[in-house]
A and B are shown apart, each in its own frame.
Chain A
C-alpha cells in the first residue's frame, strides 16, 4: 500500500477493527464438537505413496484400481472421438462416474478425474471432498502429453469440484468440468462442477 492510496488505507484500517462476536458462539461450536468422535492421528499426507509397506491394497481394492486404469483407455477413446474440439478449446475435464464400486465399502467408489491442459505446469483437483485444498490432490501428467489425471475414492453422494490449473508463469485458474453439470453460481467467480457418486449427476 502506498501513501497515494488514502482510501485503501482507510478501508483496510476500518476493516481491521475487531467485530463484535456473540458471547455464546464458541459454546455453540463446542456443543457441536462434543457430538463428534475423537479425531485420530493419521500418517502424513501421501506418506502411503512413498512407503510401500504401508500400502493396504487388498486384492479386491487392487481390482478396483485396475478397473480405473481401464477407465483411462475408455477416456482416451472418448477423447479421440471428440476430435479437434478438445484440442482447440480450453482445458477439458472428465469425471469418470462409471468406475466400479470399491469393494472395501458399498458407499465408496473410485472416481477418475481427467483434465486436458497441455500448457499447465501443475494441475490439482479441489472439491468438498478435500476441503478445497489445492495442495491436497495433485494430478499426474501422462508421459505423452498434456493429459492430467487422478483417481480418488469418494463416498456416495453429490460432490462439488473444480480443477486448479497452474501455469509456468505463475498464473492460476480454477476451471469447471465442461462435460459435467455445473454447480450453482458460487458468487466467487470460479465455476464448479458436480459429480454424483452412485448415480448420474443432473
Chain B
C-alpha cells in the first residue's frame, strides 16, 4: 500500500491528522499549478483551500486503484475552473498585468525568463484552456492520457491545445527577436 493509500485509510479510520500529511505532501505542487493557472496567489489559495476541502469530503469515494495525486489533481483543475467562473478573473488579470507592465523597469530585457513575474505574464497571455493544457503537459509533465482523465477533454483536443499554446509562445518569441 502506498503512503497515500495508507494515509487515506488512517483518515477514514478516524485519524484526521493523517490528512495533514496528504496536504503537506501535495500542497506545494498544487500551489504551483494554481498560481500559474490563476495568475495570483489570493485566488490560488482559495482554489487550494476548496480543493483540499472537497477532497476530504469525498475521501470515502476515493478508490485505491486510482493514484491519489491524479484524483487530487482532477479536483484541483476543476476548482481552478470553478473559481475562475465565479470571479471576473479575466478583467482582474488584465488590470494586474497592465499595472505590472507600467511598473516594469525599462531596461529589463523583455525576453528574459529569469523572472517569475515575466513568466506569469507570458502564461496569462495564453487562453486559459491553452494555459491549462500547457501547464499540465510541460510543467506537471503528465501524459495526454492522464490529462484527458483530469480535464475530461479528448487526447486529440489536448494535443491541439498544447500545440496552439506552443505556437503562441513561439510567435511571441519571434516577435521579440525581430523587434
Listed in ascending order, the chain A residues whose CB lies under 8 Å from chain B are: 1, 5-8, 10-19, 21-22, 25-26, 28-30, 32-34, 36, 38-42, 44-45, 124, 126, 128, 131-135, 160, 164, 166-167, 169-174, 183-190, 192
Contacts and interface: CB of A to CB of B under 8 A. Distances in A.
B81 A7 contact: no
B88 A131 contact: no
Interface of B: 11-12, 14, 16, 19-20, 23-24, 27-28, 31-32, 35-36, 45, 48-49, 52-54, 56-61, 63, 74-75, 77-78, 81-82, 84-86, 88-90, 111, 113-116, 118-119, 122-123, 127-129, 132, 134-135, 138-139, 149, 151-157, 166, 169-170, 172-173
B57 A170 contact: no
27 contacts: A1-B166, A7-B169, A8-B170, A11-B113, A12-B138, A12-B139, A16-B32, A16-B139, A19-B31, A26-B23, A29-B53, A30-B19, A34-B16, A39-B11, A45-B63, A131-B54, A134-B153, A160-B82, A166-B154, A170-B156, A172-B153, A184-B86, A186-B81, A186-B85, A187-B128, A188-B128, A189-B127
A100 B23 CA distance: 41
B53 A33 contact: yes
Contact of A5 (B48, B75, B170): B170
Contacts, number: 171
A69 to B, nearest CB: 27
A189 B75 contact: no
A6 B127 CA distance: 21
Contacts of A184: 85-86, 88
Contacts of A167: 154
A29 B26 CA distance: 12
A174 B128 CA distance: 14
Contacts of A172: 152-154, 157
User: Which 4 residue pairs of A and B lie closest in terms of their CB atoms, listed nearest first?
Assistant: A134-B152, A186-B85, A7-B173, A132-B78
B82 A132 contact: yes
B31 A21 contact: yes
